[in-house]
Amino acid sequence: MNLELRHLRVVCAIAETGSVTKAASALGLAQPALTAQLQRIERTLGGPLFDRDRRGARPTALGELVLARARVLLPAMKGLQDEAARLAGAGDTPPCYRFGGVNSPILGRLVHRLAAEQPPAQITTYASWSVDELAQLVAGGRLDFALAGVCGDASPSAGFGLSWQEVAVDPVLVLLPETHPLAAQDEVRLADLRHEQWVAAPGDGCFADCFAAACARAGFTPRKVYETDIRGCVDLVEAGVAVALCQATFRPVSGLVTRQLAGTPLRWRLLLGWHPDSPAAQGAQLVLETAKAAYVDSLAPHPAYLAWLPRNPGFGVRHPSGVRQG
């Protein structure tokens, strides 16, 4: 016999009423029929689920295990049935957006905009430090869109067949404690950071060829680079142990400052990727425009960067021609 949801309901009913007789009454079954069904369930599971005596039925260790699983599965199945019924009765299937992001500064605002503009939309998110992992998930149909960043003019791997479109371009800034001697400057020369230790989050960032090349052009080789998560990066910079590269839309943190690197030696391009043969491709242009609007939203807490953008038309949201939008 294969175990079914109705069998789990029988086990739960016996446990809740404390008696096979009472459970049979609650389920609208004859007591002998329920007893026979319980015996079949126990044979399937390999042991008794209840200790039964004149005082009632109490779960055994095996019974407690089955009950723990049943109390998760039964509500979940009921929720699935209710949601499916709502969708089936709603006529048109609501849009579905499955996003993956690599430390994306706009994912939250993109989800907020789509949810506000399309309340019935089903939106899910997935985080990864690897652009290739996200591209593979999109190519395999497990995600619809990937939000990723690349340094300079680099492009994500072409091996997954995705279409990548630019959302925006930002200069890469340096993150310093506000007590750092260079924090008083509006711009910091990369060469002036040659004696610093650095910290970076894992994944695909500027701390590979781009950063090393920029340091070489500035006449030095970077010292030790720590690798940790975003919280750890902030802690190390705050403690004065290291400095960090960061995106221009990095959320302000008390006690830390971001400063432009003189001459903008590093650029970060934010991209949206999707598979051109996927169902999601039909709505890709809408998602791209919403992502650009989400990027503009993300600039509000950064008045200094907003003032910098009009003087530097190669950055921010750009038209296909390369001219900055807005």
Rounded CA separation 135/146 (Å)? 7
Contact 260, 213 (CB under 8 A): no
**Both tokens assigned to 319:** 């038209």
pLDDT (0 to 100) of residue 90 = 52
Q: Among 144, 205, 135, 209, which residue's Cα sits nearest to residue 172?
A: 205
- Long-range pairs for 35-44 at CB < 8 Å and ≥24 separation? 37/7, 37/10, 38/10, 38/11, 38/14, 40/1, 41/1, 41/3, 41/7, 41/10, 41/11, 43/1, 44/1, 44/2, 44/3, 44/7
The answer to whether the predicted template modeling score (pTM) of the entire model surpasses 0.75 is no
| Backbone phi, psi, residue 149, to 5° | -120, 150
Tell me the domains of the chain and their CATH numbers. Answer: 5-88 (1.10.10.10), 95-316 (3.40.190.290)
| Residue 106 in tokens | 């706009």
pLDDT of residue 323: 41
- Judging by DSSP bridges, how do beta strands 163-177 and 267-274 pair with one another? antiparallel
Cα gap 218→212, rounded to integer Å: 10
Residue-by-residue pLDDT tens, the chain, 326 positions: 788 888 999 999 999 999 999 998 888 888 898 899 999 999 999 999 999 888 889 999 999 999 999 999 999 988 888 777 666 655 567 789 999 998 788 999 999 999 999 988 999 999 988 889 999 999 999 999 999 988 888 888 888 899 999 999 999 999 999 999 999 999 999 999 999 999 988 776 666 678 889 999 999 998 878 888 889 999 999 999 999 999 898 887 899 999 999 999 999 999 999 999 999 999 999 999 999 999 999 999 999 999 999 999 899 998 764 444 44
Instruction: Please tell me the predicted confidence (pLDDT) of residue 206.
Output: 64
Among residues 210, 199, 193, 201, which one has the least CA distance to residue 244?
Answer: 199
3-state helix, strand, coil in the chain (%, to 5): 45, 20, 35
